């Protein structure tokens, strides 16, 4: 898709992710945009490149106990706990509402606590109209593997990716946790197991303490740290993985401006997800997309596809 900058010069914002064309690279990240349709009250969400819908599990989840959110300098901590209605209701109730207001490609964020949960969800979502990719959240604890997150072990990442690839025809983009010592080895394990793309990064692990009560602010003690403060870490990991793997990388973590999008793409990202910025400013994605042509003009970028070759 072309959009004119303030001087009337056309700038090409179009990108292609795992064979799917997007009008621009901006995608609201899972968990920060619901299922999209509620945001249509704020603006026409068809301006978006795609939407990664709320993390979905096989069975309904009510999430973690309250309080679930803590403020931080240039960020936030959340411990929502994958609250969602379960895959069947997402398919029967949420997706129809999503399609009503959004005509673009949809990214299905799938989570699980056992291999069988991942595969069953992926089987059920495959074939749903507009769903073009599965975004596999491997940051969940493996209940059959001692409780360690799937995404912290090369073997467990390979196992879940391999199992999912056997049950779906959709491209599988694996969203990795940054809470590891060697992100490249984890990403390469996903690639070797058949992943079609990598998304970096999921939230970091953090906590806050209330000085008055002398207790953790979040009931679950720790939670996912996100926001502008994590951008340099996300950018570093995007650079490392995009230069080590041959599959596309989706950049995520602290993105809040058009310049952040350009920086992520210069680091090697094919598309970019916007997360916490949506919770601060519901118009964040719209603002970023509309300001991209002028940002491209400032840095003499005619087409975003140029950045892929850096």
According to DSSP, the residues that pair with 77 across neighbouring strands are 70, 225
Asked if 150 and 187 count as a contact pair (C-beta separation under 8 A), the reply is no
Write down the residue that tokens 């209605």 correspond to: 85
The candidate with the shortest Cα–Cα distance to 28, out of 121, 112, 104, is 104
Q: Which two tokens mark 29? A: 């990240």
Task: From residue 218, give the alpha-carbon distance in Å to each of 71, 74, 76, 225.
Answer: 10, 18, 11, 12
User: Which secondary structure element, helix H or strand E, spans residue 234, and what is its range?
Assistant: helix 231-244
Catalytic residues: 140
Distance between CA atoms of residues 234 and 297, nearest Å: 25
My answer on whether omega of the bond before 229 falls inside 30° of 0, hence cis, is no
Distance between CA atoms of residues 209 and 289, nearest Å: 37
Write down the residue that tokens 């491997």 correspond to: 138
Query: CA 156 from chain center: how many Å?
Result: 20
SS3 27: strand
User: Which secondary structure element, helix H or strand E, spans residue 107, and what is its range?
Assistant: strand 106-110
């Amino acid at each position: 898709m072309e959009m004119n900058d303030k001087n009337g010069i056309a700038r090409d914002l179009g990108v292609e992710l795992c064979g799917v064309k997007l009008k621009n690279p901006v995608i609201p990240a899972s968990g920060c945009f619901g299922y999209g349709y509620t945001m249509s009250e704020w603006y026409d969400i068809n301006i978006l490149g795609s939407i990664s819908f709320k993390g979905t599990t096989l069975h309904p989840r009510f999430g973690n106990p309250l309080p679930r959110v803590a403020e931080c300098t240039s960020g936030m901590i959340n411990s929502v706990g994958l609250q969602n209605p379960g895959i069947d209701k997402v398919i029967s109730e949420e997706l129809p509402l999503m399609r009503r207001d959004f005509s673009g490609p949809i990214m299905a964020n799938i989570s699980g606590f056992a291999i069988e949960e991942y595969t069953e969800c992926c089987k059920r979502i495959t074939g749903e109209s507009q769903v073009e990719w599965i975004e596999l959240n491997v940051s969940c604890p493996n209940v059959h593997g001692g409780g360690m997150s799937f995404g912290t072990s090369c073997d467990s990442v390979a196992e879940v990716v391999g199992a999912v690839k056997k049950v779906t025809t959709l491209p599988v983009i694996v969203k990795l946790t940054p809470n590891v010592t060697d992100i490249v080895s984890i990403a390469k394990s996903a690639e070797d197991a058949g992943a079609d793309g990598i998304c970096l990064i999921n939230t970091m692990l953090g906590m806050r303490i209330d000085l008055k009560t002398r207790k953790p602010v979040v009931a679950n003690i720790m939670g996912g740290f996100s926001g502008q403060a994590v951008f340099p870490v996300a950018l570093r990991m995007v650079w490392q993985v995009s230069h080590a793997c041959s599959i596309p990388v989706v950049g995520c973590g602290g993105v809040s401006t058009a310049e952040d999008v350009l920086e992520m793409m210069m680091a090697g990202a094919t598309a970019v997800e916007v997360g916490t910025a949506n919770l601060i400013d519901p118009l964040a994605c719209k603002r970023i997309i509309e300001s991209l042509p002028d940002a491209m003009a400032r840095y003499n970028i005619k087409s975003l596809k140029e950045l892929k070759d850096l």
